[in-house]
Amino acid sequence: MKLSHLSETLIGSEIVKLGGEIREKIRQGEQIYNFTVGDFDPSIFPIPKELEDAIVNAYRKHFTNYPAAEGNLDLREAVLSFIKDEEQLDYGSNEILIASGGRPLIYAVFRAICDAGDKVIYAVPSWNNNHYTHFVSGEHIVIEAKAENNFMPTANDIRPFIQEAALISLCSPQNPTGTTFKKSELEAICDLVIEENKRRGDHEKKLFVMYDQMYWHLTYGDIQHYNPVSLRPEMKDYTIFIDAISKVFAATGVRVGWSLGPAKVIAKMKSILTHVGAWAPMAEQKAVAYYLNENRVGIKNYLTNFKKEIEERLRKIYNGFTDLKQAGYPVDAIAPEAAIYLTIKFDLVGKTTGDGKLLADQGAVTAYILNEAKLAVVPFYAFGASKDSSWYRLSVGTCKKEDIEKMLQQLKASLHQLH
């Protein structure tokens, strides 16, 4: 049966494929340390109790009809107040769009800005840029970010392609790496965009930046989050933010996200999503509006504990990998900066297993780590990096602290078998 060109050419998800393998192993009774999921186990990381109560109360008050297409005014005003207080970003009610999480907003950005054949610049590894570019029949301008830059793209990476691009997709803190833009590097990228848009004048389509900052509250130690508009106010005309409650409040399934940007772009995104119907549910909108307005002290307390628990897990695993590396095992890790992710490395291609099997490529390494170490992590090649990349994403959103030491011991035993 022949279907549309789009549906026939959609790229399968390596993450979904790996997830299916893991579920089958668990179903068969295997103990798997599953660090693949970019989500939270609610029994470990529940949403704030005040937000939960507000959602229940909103349903009891029968807030079950359609919300406004752009998002209810009370929620838009609550988000704008929260963002102004937390990030000093000043936007009006016609410069914000509410939707059911970040994904429909990202889709709307691509649809509002890109025509078929337009060039989209994005770095790999990164989450889903390849799929969204495919949705709009865009031309992929792919930058393979390097470990020495903590897998964040640089201005020098972007510069050769900027004159023909319609959109640059940036994310910080980055999924899958858990790393962030340094201030000077993001400033340099902003300066490139400003200079390019001046060159284009009034008659060419402008170059826009989509800035996904879904994890920006979750930074650790001395790491600071930066955004284009705060660093360069001129970027307000060219930046579309993607944000949500999904990660900051462990509320991935609650589905309330927002986009901030130029009023004209936001209006077009609204028109697109009106036809898609990707609204955040009315009750959740009412609850989030109440929570953001009435619980600033509660939010601060929640985030303090939430970040402490995530950082503790990330650092324990990072320290474990550092110990393995110092003991001579071919592994590595990048110190955790943000989000719920740790970037780790298994440099095992060419090694031979205890039963004489050669790990001939990175796919074989991934399978060995899963089957022998019982450790499930997502390879960077699932996020668009080259097939021979030896780097992986480890997510702690479903991690029990008592499992960390057992996981590291199992990993060490499996590495010890290799020669």
| pLDDT (mean) for 217-233 | 97
Which pLDDT score, from 0 to 100, does residue 12 have? 75
* Residue 173: cis peptide before it, omega within 30 degrees of 0: yes
Residue 105 has a pLDDT of 98
Q: What is the DSSP letter of 170?
A: E
Residue range 146-155, pLDDT digits in tens: 999 999 999 9
Overall average pLDDT of the 256-270 stretch = 98
Extract long-range pairs of 143-146: CB within 8 Å, 24+ residues apart: 144/385, 144/386
Q: What is the pLDDT of residue 179?
A: 98
**Helix H or strand E encompassing 375:** strand 375-376
The mean per-residue pLDDT over the stretch 25-54 comes to 94
User: pLDDT tens-digit profile of 289-338?
Assistant: 999 998 889 999 999 999 999 999 999 999 999 999 999 999 999 999 99
Looking at residue 188, what is its pLDDT?
Answer: 98
pLDDT score of 146: 95
What would the pLDDT profile of 175-193 be if each residue is shown by its tens digit? 999 999 999 999 999 999 9
CATH of 5-45+300-416, one of 3.40.50.720, 3.90.1150.10, 2.60.120.460, 3.40.190.10: 3.90.1150.10
Judge whether residue 49 has pLDDT over 90. Answer: yes
169 C-beta neighbours (distance < 10 Å), count: 24
The mean predicted confidence, pLDDT, of the chain is 96
How far apart CA 225 and CA 219 sit, in angstroms, is 7
Q: Where are the beta strands (DSSP E) in 271-382?
A: 331-333, 341-346, 375-376, 378-379
Phi, psi of 78 (to 5 degrees): -65, -45
Find, among 399, 47, 411, 28, the residue nearest to 247 by Cα: 47
Average pLDDT over residues 234-246: 98
> Which whole number is the average pLDDT over 208-215?
98
pTM of the model: 0.96
Q: Are 154 and 176 in contact (CB under 8 A)?
A: no
pLDDT tens-digit series, residues 5-25: 999 998 877 777 787 888 888
The predicted structure's pLDDT at residue 377: 96
Give 63-294's CATH code, choosing from 3.40.640.10, 3.40.50.720, 3.40.50.11810, 3.90.79.10. 3.40.640.10
> Within 13 Å of residue 293, how many CA atoms lie on the same side as its CB?
13
Mean pLDDT of 72-76: 98
Domain boundaries, the chain: 5-45+300-416, 63-294
Q: What is the pLDDT of residue 295?
A: 80
**pLDDT digits over 367-416, tens only?**
999 999 999 999 999 999 999 999 999 999 999 999 999 999 999 999 99
Q: What is the Rg, in whole angstroms, of the alpha carbon atoms belonging to the chain? A: 22
Tens digits of residue pLDDT in 343-375: 999 999 999 998 999 999 999 999 999 999 999
